[in-house]
Chain A
Amino acid sequence: MSSAIQNLVNQPYKHGFVTDIETEAVPKGLSEDVIRLISKKKNEPEWLLEFRLSAYRHWLTMEEPSWPNVVYPKIDFQDIIYFAQPKSKKQLASMDEVDPELRRTFEKLGVPLHEQKMMTGVAVDVIFDSVSVTTTYKAKLAEIGIIFCSFSEAVHEHPELVKQYLGSVVPSGDNFYAALNSAVFTDGSFCYIPKGTKCPMDLSTYFRINTEGSGQFERTLIIAEEGASVSYLEGCTAPQFDTNQLHAAVVELVALDNADIKYSTVQNWYAGDENGKGGIFNFVTKRGLCKGVNSKISWTQVETGSAITWKYPSCVLLGDNSIGEFYSVALTNHLQQADTGSKMIHIGKNTRSRIISKGISAGRSNNSYRGLVKIGSRAAGARNFSQCDSMLIGDSCGANTFPTIDVQNVTAQVEHEASTSKIGEDQMFFFAQRGIGSEEAVSMIINGFCKDVFVHLPMEFAVEATKLLGLKLEGSVG
């Protein structure tokens, strides 16, 4: 691979700064006492503490999964801070009370906390370390019955909803990291769209890990009642530390009859340096339940960060005629590893799903697609289409595809397509010979490759994603 190709992939991480802010943290380590302490600090009801403790007891019996196609040193779960929050004395009444240092941090990241300054009309919930610092446009949304707030707030303000749906899609003992999250989650976003309501603006959560040695365990719960619809965006960054940090989130989506949830992620956690030092371990469980008839859940993700990505946003298609979609671009560079994909579980009749996965590997990274399409015995007329494409940049990276298809109904139709391609020196020379510089050429090739996914992102996110991929690959192709 030419040095020009190398140079284009190697752009330094821009969000690697640390905010100097006083935080309050529970000492390192995990035990029932730590969980009780977290629960107490958050002034939680007894049922939630019980939920945590039962998850913790279950977790103790579980093994860390070893099947993903990733390699990393064993995690010492006693060496993690499970709770850190910016020190603030009281509940914030308005945005102006947000710590100026914190506000500057988010402005630096391009997330203005002032509602007046927000041009895009996106409501934002901001999670700093484990705690939601602010939620914008809350009052306006409340007028039409939409609840959009931090998870902690929902626990106190809307306990019946939280109690009804928490763990209903991802049970507390679902998998190792989901169990860990259920035991120690500290905050996250909660969103409830009432019957027949179309959410008038995109809702967005911005996650930031700041404290060294802390894990981030947030919980997102989105409920769309009958006929409701919502588009939800999630963005993430973290400072540059030499140590690995664990991010084990759980996202649960519930769509009732005729409801529609669109969930988009641009993940740019710190990925470690070019020698693989530091970076986030992103071990996330995301699942949506199409509970009602004609409901639809659509996941779109652009994964560019994290040292290791382990996540499979999935849809359980329970309601008849429900639709699940997964559109993904996963880019890995340097020594990043990604094992990501989707699960589509067809239970109801005439359920449909679509998986479009684009993996881009550069440097010495390893990028795997792993997917499951399962058609249950009652899912007459179910259909799935999957397409998994891999692109290699240079000759030191790897791409893999592990699709699993399990069909138990003869009337189902399942299609799977896969391809592998490479940005070669010949392509780059072709662009150069037509007068086009290497950065523009790579950007054009990558965007062409990802086109089928980008069209599903909300406009501003699509622009951001395009730029981000360009930055991540700068210096790697030439």
Chain B
Amino acid sequence: MINKGSKVLLEVKNLKAEVVVDGVGGVEILKGVNLTVRAGEVHAIMGVNGSGKSTFSKVLAGHPDYTVTGGTATLEGKELFSLAAEERARAGLFLAFQYPVEIPGVSNSALLRLAYNTLQNERGLEELDPLEFEDLVQEKIKVVEMDPSFLDRSVNEGFSGGEKKRNEILQMAILEPKLAILDETDSGLDIDALRIVANGVNSLLTPDNAVVMVTHYQRLLNYIVPDYVHVMDGGRIVRTGGKELALELEARGYDWVRAAA
């Protein structure tokens, strides 16, 4: 599993960020985060509400609500913070949203095709026409065990919580990112949906890509087994360990980490 020699995908050094409220910054949420993710690795970031873990994923993806005030982050050596959000996505950074938005009137397949072809252009590859794309998407949709009728429906409109999360993983399957960040993908999922989503993510893992899961609970980690577990608290990663750290956390609670830190 852990291969110290494999290529570094994500390198975050001393990242500090503030939340922007009504156009004004001010409240520092991230206070110096360090993280290195190599190809082939699965990382879990855990922590209590407000510890900064969701903020961390949004800052990396370029959400406009946050301002980076210090530190660096690179994806395959590319400086992320000099890129616009869409450029980061095209560089291979994928964020599976905690609360996927609904886009009325825009069909799932139209969105997927536009996103896919934008990426193909970026990579200097041929765009797929609707028929060719249909073949690709029919193959990928099996990953998340979704009914093909979801492709013709408006993006996330009228989807259940579980269907929305599966739809996120479908997008990941189509876009094949280098680094996928799953922001509380397990929240609001029943046990069957959790299994489907986890199976989907596992099937997409390769020695060349990596996954960072942000979660409250150990539960997800039974299905997607991490190589590293990080505990975030007060805007910093305060402890890092193997998958057994998650079990210990589950048993002893976050106060235990705080006390130890």
Contacts and interface: CB of A to CB of B under 8 A. Distances in A.
Interface in A403-460: 421, 424-427, 429-438, 440, 444-445, 447-451
B19 to A, nearest CB: 14
A432 B114 contact: no
Given A426-B101, A427-B103, A435 B115 contact: yes
Given A425-B64, A429-B63, A444-B114, A436 B103 contact: no
A123 B171 CA distance: 47
A186 B62 CA distance: 57
A433 B86 CA distance: 5
A445 B95 contact: no
B118 A432 contact: no
A436 B64 contact: no
A447 B154 CA distance: 12
Interface string B104-142: 111100110011001100100000000000000000000
Contact of B100 (A424, A430, A449): A430
A432 B86 contact: yes
Interface residues of A, number: 25
B118 A435 contact: yes
Contacts of A434: 89, 111, 115, 171, 175
B90 interface: yes
A339 B99 CA distance: 36
A164 interface: no
Contacts of A433: 61-62, 85-86, 89, 94-95, 97
B118 A448 contact: no
Contact of B101 (A2, A427, A440): A427
Contact of B110 (A4, A424, A444): A444
A444 B90 CA distance: 18
Interface string A196-223: 0000000000000000000000000000
B103 A445 contact: yes
A421 B105 CA distance: 11
Contacts of B99: 426
A435 B106 contact: no
Contact of B119 (A425, A429, A430, A435): A435
B2 interface: no
Contacts of B86: 431-433, 435-438
B27 interface: no
A425 B62 CA distance: 12
A436 B104 contact: no
Contacts of A432: 62, 84-86, 89
A435 B89 contact: yes
Contacts of A424: 101
B115 A436 contact: yes
Contacts of B94: 433
Q: B64, B65, B95, B97: which has the most chain A beta carbons within 10 Å? A: B64
A448 B101 contact: no
Contacts of B110: 444
Nearest to A421: B104
Contact of A444 (B62, B65, B111): B111
Contacts of A445: 103, 105-106
Contacts of A448: 103-107, 154
A423 B115 CA distance: 19
A429 B98 CA distance: 13
A436 B114 contact: yes
Contacts of B63: 429
B104 A449 contact: yes
A204 B247 CA distance: 73
B104 A429 contact: no
A440 B64 contact: no
Nearest to A426: B101
A429 B64 contact: yes
Contacts of B61: 429, 433
A431 B110 CA distance: 12
Nearest to B94: A433
Interface in B17-67: 61-65
Contacts of A447: 105-106
Contacts of B119: 435
17 contacts: A426-B101, A429-B61, A429-B64, A430-B100, A430-B103, A433-B95, A434-B89, A435-B89, A435-B90, A435-B119, A435-B175, A436-B118, A444-B103, A448-B103, A448-B105, A448-B106, A451-B105
Interface of B: 61-65, 84-86, 89-90, 94-95, 97, 99-101, 103-107, 110-111, 114-115, 118-119, 122, 154, 171, 175
